[in-house]
Amino acid sequence: MAVDKISLYHNIVSLLNRANSKSELQNALNVTLDELLDFLGFSYGAIRVNTGAGRRSLAAETKGGGLKLCFDKLDAPDCLCKKAIESENPGAIVSSDSIGLCCRTRLSTLVCAPIKAGGESVGLFLAATTEKIVAPDDQIAFINLICRNIGDTAERTHAVESDHQRALDMKTVNAIGRLITSKLNLKDMVREIVSTLGGVLETDEVNVIVYDGARRELSFLASYFADGSKLDRPEVYPLSDGINSWIIKNRRPLLMTYDTQKECEKLGIRHGGRPAKSWLGAPMIYQDRVVGVISVQSYTKTGLYDENSEYLISAVANQCAVAVENARLFEEIIDREEEKERLYFSLTHDLLSLINPVAGFTKILKTIPAKAKEERARLIDNITNATEKITRFAEDILIYAKIKSGKLVLDISRQNVLKPLDSAIRVYLPELDMRAIELSVNGHDIGVNGMQHSGPEPDKKDLGLEKLLSITPIMADLDAAQIERVFLNCIGNSVKHARSKIEIEVTSSDSLITCKVSDDGDGVPSDQCAVLFEEYYQAGEKQKGVGLGLPSVKKIIELHDGAIKAVSDIQAGFTIEFSWPRTLADRREREMAGRSALGNL
């Protein structure tokens, strides 16, 4: 090797050996290309290095003389560049006709040399000139030697960059771990997590999705968008055949590196939303139970994620799973304590309001002479009614507790809907009579001794309630005891507020039972109608209570797969309307229709 070659070799290799980062490698390649082109006496050239994949890939490139490569990365088309990449040895090609495969200028001589590391092609050296010359063998050997050093440098630099990225990943995991142990609430904590993850993965979008196994529903807990956009999709949707649902069902990460639509087609996954170039998701698993999914995606970069990215997001997903579960348990404890506090306060108030009349009636009863039988009998009736209210109050609490814990099982049978209504009405007949409140069912007035028809037909006057029920039954599948409880609460609510009348309507269609209980009381503001069914809510300060009556009614109707609503306004009276499928077959048809509608989301 000549002296100038030795000096050139020393200068280039020394520069390459000092490169330990991408920027240092890029600078070394710039100088190396200039030196090699000068050594060959060529005007045009390029060096391209591309190692690894995903976030830990290493890419560097330099060009000289305005050369423009005709390919991306190292996947050259069917040209001289491809032959150089695939060749074991470099060489010079002299064309009898000018060639212009990789630059705008027509070329006559092309020198190509692949850059290898670990036995694999990781780059390419390319030099060209417009003159027809033959590069000597010793020059080709020298180029080959330099390319080996470039390959060694690229491999070493990639390892350094990869170690640095791995350290950053561990730093991210630790930072997220600190977030999880902080005092942030779940929503704020997850927002911080997705923001941190979005920055580290250089991604366009990050989502944390929680999964409710009982309801088979997915809901977005937090999202991060690099461009600052907002969520533009349903926040809650059913488990289906989509990407996130696939991860939940298969309980393993999913990595897509080039086109989510095409890759979803291969996996049999329904693709929804905007197609991404790179997509990665991992399940959040807590004690062998899938509680959600973390996913990241890029709309502009292919191959952005790799196995290392998968490891990082899986580690974060495991931490998030613990955070989500701990937050859920903590919120349950807080809710339970708050519920207990509200319940204890309300129970104390209601029990006193129910027990005080009993105590008062008893004291009065002691002062009435035994001979005053009618007065004593009236007081005894009042005491009996008051104790029955206490019993119903206690039953409401027990039933609501069963509903809340999921332990209430309906006893469904085919019944006349008017039968539990009849039982509920009879409980309130004495109070209705005492307060002179008129009550009607489907236009029939009801008195203390039974039901009397308001119409002119003489054969329907003085009909007992049982007789009317046998004449005009309204048959449906229901739990008679629970529907009676619904009527008791609705009628009891109207009795509290009615001025002079209560109207009840029970109608049946082919597939639906609809009931309305209306009174002519003061009513409530229309914007309060929805919250009346919330726990412990009281519409007015004058009417204190435990506030479980209407919530119990709502849950019982929902257990029958029905719906309930309140209609009212100030000085416009008050109406509760509820309905449920008439038969179990109608209920199944409604469920199937609901699933079909959800599946189209």
pLDDT tens-digit map of 505-541: 999 998 999 999 999 998 888 888 888 887 665 555 4
Last residue of a domain, one of 124, 159, 194: 159
Domain assignment present for residue 172? The answer is no
Give yes or no: residues 111 and 188 share one domain: no
Distance CA 250, CA 306 (A): 19
Give yes or no: residues 200 and 304 share one domain: yes
pLDDT of residue 432: 83
User: Of 192-196, 273-277, 354-358, 390-394, where does the model show the most confidence?
Assistant: 273-277
End-to-end, the C-alpha distance of the chain in Å comes to 72
Phi, psi of 372 (to 5 degrees): -80, 70
pLDDT of residue 281: 92
Single-letter amino acid code for the residue at 34: D
Q: Poorest-confidence range of 191-200, 228-237, 303-312, 543-552? A: 543-552
pLDDT of residue 99: 53
pLDDT of residue 59: 81
| Mean confidence (pLDDT) of the chain | 78
pLDDT of residue 564: 93
Distance CA 399, CA 553 (A): 10
597 or 477: which leads in pLDDT: 477
Give yes or no: residues 146 and 189 share one domain: no
Q: pLDDT tens digits, residue range 269-288? A: 988 778 899 899 999 998 88
Q: Which domain holds residue 70?
A: 3-159
pLDDT at 32 over 50: yes
pLDDT of residue 245: 92
Give yes or no: residues 415 and 484 share one domain: yes
pLDDT at 184 over 60: no
Distance CA 561, CA 193 (A): 39
Q: Poorest-confidence range of 170-174, 342-346, 435-439? A: 342-346
Distances (CA, A) of 510 to 188, 563, 584: 49, 17, 12
Give yes or no: residues 196 and 52 share one domain: no
Q: pLDDT tens digits, residue range 336-366? A: 766 666 666 656 655 665 666 676 667 777 7
pLDDT at 168 over 80: no
Which is it for strands 413-416 and 574-581: parallel, antiparallel or unpaired?
Answer: unpaired
User: Of 167-176, 231-240, 309-318, 473-482, where does the model show the most confidence?
Assistant: 473-482
Average of per-residue pLDDT across 459-467? 46
* CA 320 from centroid of its chain's CA atoms: 14
CATH of the domain at 312: 3.30.450.40
SS (H, E, C) 78-133: CCHHHHHHHCCCCEEEEEEEEECCCCCCCEEEEEEEEEEECCEEEEEEEEEECCCC
Average of per-residue pLDDT across 184-203? 70
Which is it for strands 44-51 and 58-64: parallel, antiparallel or unpaired?
Answer: antiparallel
pLDDT band at 160, cuts 50/70/90? confident
Are the C-beta atoms of residues 134 and 89 closer than 8 Å to each other? Answer: no
Domain assignment present for residue 328? The answer is yes
Give yes or no: residues 392 and 532 share one domain: yes
Q: pLDDT tens digits, residue range 11-25? A: 999 999 998 888 899
pLDDT band at 546, cuts 50/70/90? very low
Helix (H, G, I), strand (E, B) or coil at 7: helix
* CA 240 from centroid of its chain's CA atoms: 13
pLDDT at 598 over 80: no
52 or 298: which leads in pLDDT: 298
pLDDT at 43 over 70: yes
Domain assignment present for residue 343? The answer is no
For 181-255, where are the alpha helices, taking DSSP H only?
A: 186-200, 243-250
170 or 432: which leads in pLDDT: 432
Last residue of a domain, one of 276, 311, 332: 332
pLDDT band at 50, cuts 50/70/90? confident
Give yes or no: residues 279 and 384 share one domain: no
pLDDT of residue 29: 92
Give yes or no: residues 141 and 192 share one domain: no
pLDDT at 302 over 60: yes
pLDDT at 192 over 90: no
pLDDT at 94 over 60: no
Domain assignment present for residue 337? The answer is no
104 or 41: which leads in pLDDT: 41
Give yes or no: residues 91 and 191 share one domain: no
Give yes or no: residues 516 and 590 share one domain: yes
Are the C-beta atoms of residues 46 and 15 closer than 8 Å to each other? Answer: no
pLDDT of residue 493: 87
pLDDT of residue 475: 92
95 or 123: which leads in pLDDT: 123
Give yes or no: residues 328 and 374 share one domain: no
pLDDT at 37 over 80: yes
pTM above 0.95, yes or no: no
pLDDT of residue 102: 59
pLDDT of residue 545: 44
Other CB atoms closer than 10 Å to residue 556's CB: what's the count?
A: 26
Average of per-residue pLDDT across 407-416? 88
Domain assignment present for residue 536? The answer is yes
How many independent structural domains does the chain possess? 3
Taken in order 588, 594, 600, 601, the sign of the CA dihedral is negative
Last residue of a domain, one of 126, 159, 192: 159
Distances (CA, A) of 422 to 129, 223, 394, 488: 104, 54, 22, 10
pLDDT of residue 282: 93
For the chain, what is the largest distance between any 2 Cα atoms, rounded to a whole number of angstroms? 140
Give yes or no: residues 464 and 571 share one domain: yes
CATH of the domain at 523: 3.30.565.10
170 or 470: which leads in pLDDT: 170
Other CB atoms closer than 10 Å to residue 588's CB: what's the count?
A: 12
Phi, psi of 490 (to 5 degrees): -65, -45
Which is it for strands 501-508 and 438-441: parallel, antiparallel or unpaired?
Answer: parallel
Domain assignment present for residue 12? The answer is yes
pLDDT band at 54, cuts 50/70/90? low
Domain assignment present for residue 167? The answer is no
Domain assignment present for residue 186? The answer is yes
Our CA dihedral for 426, 429, 431, 434, rounded to 10 degrees, sits at -160
pLDDT at 162 over 90: no
Distance CA 436, CA 446 (A): 12
pLDDT band at 180, cuts 50/70/90? low
